Structure 1
Amino acid sequence: MTQLLSETARTQGIDYFLLSFTDLFGIQRAKLVPTSAIDAMADGQAGFAGFAAWLDLTPADPDVFAQPDRERLYQLPWQPELGWMPADLIQANGDPLEQTPRWVLKRVLAQAEAMGLRAKTGVECEFMLFSPEEWAVSDPRDQQAKPCYDQQSLMRRFSVIRDICDGMQKLGWNPYQNDHEDANGQFEMNWLFDDALVTADRHAFFKYMVKSIAEQQGYRATFMPKPFPHLTGNGCHTHISLWDPSGTTNLFTDATGELGLSKLAYHFIAGVLHHAPALCALTNPTVNSYRRLNAPVTLSGATWSPSTISYSGNNRTHTIRIPDGGRFELRLADASANPYLLTAGLIAAGLDGIQQQRDPGPRSDNNTYTAPTANAPILPGSLHEALDNLAQSSVLRTALGDPFVNAYLKLKRQQWQEFSHQITPWERETTLDC
């Protein structure tokens, strides 16, 4: 018999639960539930007005309900009287609200399971620490042109990084390294890969944890893709491999294959490359995302983001990097990506590559920043373009489902229109005297 959450709470000293879901724009929405009421609320009684979040619903629609995943209780390391649980949204009749991101990922994982495949992922989610009330890096001494791995800048923010890393250790995530990244005020923290849904839930919680601990210490953490035009943006490099149903045999591994990858892996890579223009709508989901892609050279000398739809070996200038056997890294996504939609889109594209036996062609080992890959397609230049590509993708529509694709396109196009109506300072400066 499954232990009641109230009993778990008494054992672990939890007084309140955050029942949290992630909406279409990646915003986490929650209700704070006292332990005395958690058993009833956990059975799907925590109601939300869906229109109040970024979902394609109206004020006339009935409530939707958060059903937390009982296997994903994260006791907040920095506030242990609180427990956080990712939830799926269900309708009053018990059916899933299929447009919601966590349901979309579960839908795609079921498709992989039907093919005898189990996806495992890991993410490298970069973020910056700002001063709380200013549009500025929090550390005024962090000014080097090449600040990546800088020991002094890293250690001046040791208390923040330590508390986040300690939190991951308490949660059993097996963190293994932390560093100062290529932009001033930018950091990256790595933990061990796991099943795709586990990683997506941890990714969602990681963003919450980073922001919360930063706030506690007087800073503001941001996952914005490109806060400053002259600095490297915040990426979310994603590593993926496919395994057998038991999760014991890595099906991407082939010691005799090129760079240690199997034919299955190369079919998967081909699918990702084929669908990259549409995939961008999920991996790079904001207007600001396209300041990071196809960007001019930064202060450090490199953007570390791709511009061409191409793949390579251990070469960080392409959309896909193969660092060693048994996995590959998608360098396309940025830190604003919805943890669930990023993973769902990546897997859906790759599965199509397997089903269609797609061929990625020969890899490109050039430095795309100095010698662009000949005849390689260019990534979309705007959110508008990426959304159009998603709208035209019958494969991703089938894999992700009409309820999601329709809702996502509707709301994201509204966001693009809102952006398009803005008059920027640059426009005023360059055209006022025309």
Structure 2
Amino acid sequence: MMSFATLLAQDLAATPDLALEISQNLLTTNNVWMMLSTALVFIMHLGFAGVETGFGQAKNTVNIMFKNTITPIIGIVSYALVGFYLMYPGFEVPGWFSFDSAGWNMFWFSPIDADVTSGYADGGYTYWTDFLFQAMFAATAATIVSGAIAERVKISAYLIFTLLFVGLVYPLIGSWKWGGGVLDDMGFYDFAGSTLVHSVGGWGALAGVILVGPRIGKYVNGKTVEKPGASVPLAVIGVFLLWLGWFGFNGGSVLSANPALVSSVLVITSLGACAGGLGGFFTAYFTFKRLDLGMLLNGILAGLVGITAGADVFTPAAALLIGFVAGILVVLSAVFLDKLRLDDVVGAVSVHLTCGVWGTIAVGIFSSNPDHSFLAQLIGVAVCGAMAFGSAFLIFYILKVTIGIRVSEEHEKSGLDSHEHGIRGYTIVYDE
């Protein structure tokens, strides 16, 4: 039988190998969780497709599905072409703009087994996992715009807007915080993107809604005319898919498989969603005197958006309050937009912009980290909002005065499916 001293000597001799093995296992564990989170964020595109198609009219089903299918394609490719390197340029001194041409070359021309796949992010996950996870976020920002301007926007204009917004605007704004730019240096905090993803997309949606105008017959004699959606069940399925995807959206933003922090973030995320649903339910009931399923669904999404900025620094009690307020705000925002005759088909501006701003500011009020300040959050919201809205408005305006951004009145009335795609989303064929 070996003595204790002998065993200790053997353990010490094996320590370097043991440390290396632990490091490799940690890299694998973290990377697997990040890839799973990436898959969950990817499935959110199906959720968006369900929500937008469900809330949209049946005559535009194919058109909405087409946009939701091609958006992640454009988003991922444009992010690979330029967005990734705009967003993470590695500022030598925190600033407003930088571009990492070395990183661009490394991405496109490095062999798969090169050093870019190991020792990346302090050994937390690989270079390729980081790109794909961030690309999914980028594509999500464009999808937010899609639902707001559905049923009357030209496909060509939307595709050009998506290419420019995801490829240039979103990553530039993101670089100011997540890329180590000026907002990060100032102390602005946005854990998983209440502002950098959701309100950026929401500002783009607002610009589009203003310039494309309301649907024909939406506002008549000072009244808002409801346009029945194609499928309530599909909208419900879409919301639950988005809630599922949010576990990857927020949980993956931990950027590791840290069991304590990941599980805490997922609890906070779920509590925010539940409280948002309750806030939307009660506010809609007192406002419209009915059990409004649409507002219940958007309340859930509002709570998720609101909790995203500080899911790692909010307590469970704060999560309930923040989510509940988000649920209230999403209803009030939707009513206010209708009074302004701003036609948002799915409530994207109310969910992503209004509640994204609220959630980001809430970090300055409820964060458990004393370094997070209300003023820094307010400045970050204002700077990102000005850039996102200004850029989106400019892109849409240029498109409007050049190729046009709205379909003809005839096509809008009869539906975009038959005119732009040649098929209908719902077709019943009876055998003779």
TM-score by length of 2: 0.27
Q: Which structure shows the bigger proportion of residues in helix conformation?
A: 2
- Specify the structure having the higher radius of gyration (Cα): 2
TM-score by length of 1: 0.27
Of structures 1 and 2, the one with the larger relative CO (CA 8 A, separation 6+) is 2
